[in-house]
Amino acid sequence: MEQTKKVMLSGIQPSGDLHLGNYLGAIKNWAERAEEFDCYYFMADMHTITVRQDPAALRRRTLEQLAQYIACGLDPERNTLFIQSHIPAHAELGWVLNCYTMFGELSRMTQFKDKSAKHKDNINGGLFTYPALMAADILLYQPDYVPVGEDQKQHCELTRDIAIRFNHIYGDVFKVPEPYIPKAGARVMGLTAPESKMSKSIPEGCVFLMEKPEDIQRKFKRAITDSDTENCVRFDPASKPGVANLMNIYAAVTGKSFAEIEAEFAGQGYGKFKPAVGEAVIETLRPIREEAQKILADKAYLESVYKAGAEKAAYVANKTLRKVYKKVGFVPAR
Ligand code: TYM
């Protein structure tokens, strides 16, 4: 008898264009595991409105993101690709889990602290309770692993705590999932400010998946290395964070170890190293960009993908939701 596969699930907010951090921290890992796991990947559109969005841009980016998921190697035949807002069970379980998540826990979330500092005029309830919705996104599908970058580890840990708390009261309802974080690329830092993570909010230091090769190369050539005069490619994150970040990126795209990279650039200095990293990234992203452009042109295909994805996702999600409703004492509708 065929053994049932383990389940993987993850999502990305279509609040900006996908960038190298999203790719190396998350998507690359998803695509590499498609054969081994039963996979669910979604566009987390409901999460984006915790910060004001332009509606037309959100719609456009959601579809672009789907095209880019497929172009990154996520075959819709093997992976369930869907749009979060198409599955009402996310909001429904999100509400239930809100009632099992503590104010103190939510107050400690780094993403909440960062975003509320950035958007002082809009510290809304959704921004605060975001992790309960994220826990619902995850727990609905009973995954074994949640492949994310380092910055989402805290939310994944809270999801585990919520699942354990719920199971403790009602019996085994949720599988308690584990975050799955890559060795290289878990935390890609900005090219212009290596002390903070690469993010779309600092576009000069951020490499987007759809960016033209010449723009990518320009960003790498201008990347901050370090302030000492050593001009030597050596992995030392404390005193050379910019170089360590470039080495991390190079390691993630080439599969080389830090020792191999140091040997490759011994005696060559940053003048050779930075464009070499740029070139390796360009060659990694080139086929993705070309493929994504083709897929995006076929709107009917994209629609067929997200509709089929929603159908498969809803089936699994509703099963979990029904179980939860029953456990907490809601009268079944049918
Ligand atoms: P989001 O949309 O900010 O980021 C999506 C994924 O990209 C990773 N990532 C990075 N990895 C390495 N270096 C970086 N500079 C970098 N920037 C982003 C993130 O760790 C993440 O894996 N709350 C989530 C979205 C979400 C989700 C979920 C994820 C909603 N529901 C359920 C997993 C499961 C978020 O804001 O990620």
Model confidence pLDDT, tens digit, residues 306-332:
999 999 999 999 999 999 999 999 999
Quick check: 233 and 243 in contact, CB under 8 A?
yes
Examine the domain organization and report whether 164 and 101 are in the same domain.
yes
Confidence check: pLDDT of 228 > 80: no
pLDDT at res. 77: 95
pLDDT above 80: residue 2: no
Q: Give a yes or no: residue 226 inside a domain.
A: yes
Cβ(44) to ligand 1 under 6 A? yes
276 shares a domain with 320: no
In this structure, the answer to whether residues 118 and 12 fall within a common structural domain is yes
- Between strands 145-147 and 178-180, the pairing is parallel
Q: Which position among 115, 175, 256, 323 bears the catalytic label?
A: 115
198 in contact with ligand 1, CB cutoff 6 A? yes
Strand order in the sheet with 6-12: 79-83, 37-43, 6-12, 145-147, 178-180
197 in active site: yes
How many domains are contained in the chain? 2
271 and 221 in a single domain? The answer is yes
pLDDT digits (tens, 9 = 90+) for 281-312: 999 999 999 999 999 999 999 999 999 999 99
10 CB within 6 A, ligand 1: yes
CA of 290 to the centre of ligand 1 (A): 24
Residue 327 among the catalytic residues? no
- Claim to verify: residue 47 and residue 166 sit in the same structural domain: yes
Residue 334 falls within a domain, yes or no? Answer: no
Q: Tokens at residue 86, please?
A: 């198409």
Query: What pLDDT digit, counting tens, does each position of 123-171 carry?
Result: 999 999 999 999 999 999 999 999 999 999 999 999 999 999 999 999 9
Cα–Cα dist 314/320, whole Å: 10
State residue 279's pLDDT score: 98
Whether 299 sits among the annotated catalytic residues: the reply is no
The number of residues making up the chain comes to 334
**Domain check: are 175 and 287 in the same one?**
no
In a shared domain, residues 60 and 161: yes
Q: Which residue intervals of 171-227 are DSSP H helices?
A: 213-221
Ligand 1 atom with least separation from CA of 185: 12
Same domain as 212, residue 164: no
| CB neighbour list of residue 174: distance below 8 Å, 6 or more residues apart | 139, 142, 163, 166, 167, 320
**DSSP assignments along 242-284, one per residue:** HHHHHHHHHHHHH---HHHHHHHTTTT-HHHHHHHHHHHHHHH
- According to DSSP, residue 5 is labeled P
Its domain, for residue 141, covers 6-186+299-328
Asked, for residue 197, whether it belongs to a domain, the answer is no
For the domain that residue 40 is a member of, what is the CATH number?
A: 3.40.50.620
- Give per-residue pLDDT as tens, 89-135: 999 999 999 999 999 999 999 999 999 999 899 999 999 999 999 99
Question: Do 303 and 279 share a domain, yes or no?
Answer: no
The DSSP code for 203 is G
pLDDT band, very low/low/confident/very high, at 1 (cuts 50, 70, 90): very low
Mean pLDDT, rounded, of the chain: 95
Global pTM value? 0.96
Where residue 237 sits, what CATH number does that domain have? 1.10.240.10
Question: How many CB atoms sit inside 10 A of residue 270's CB?
Answer: 20
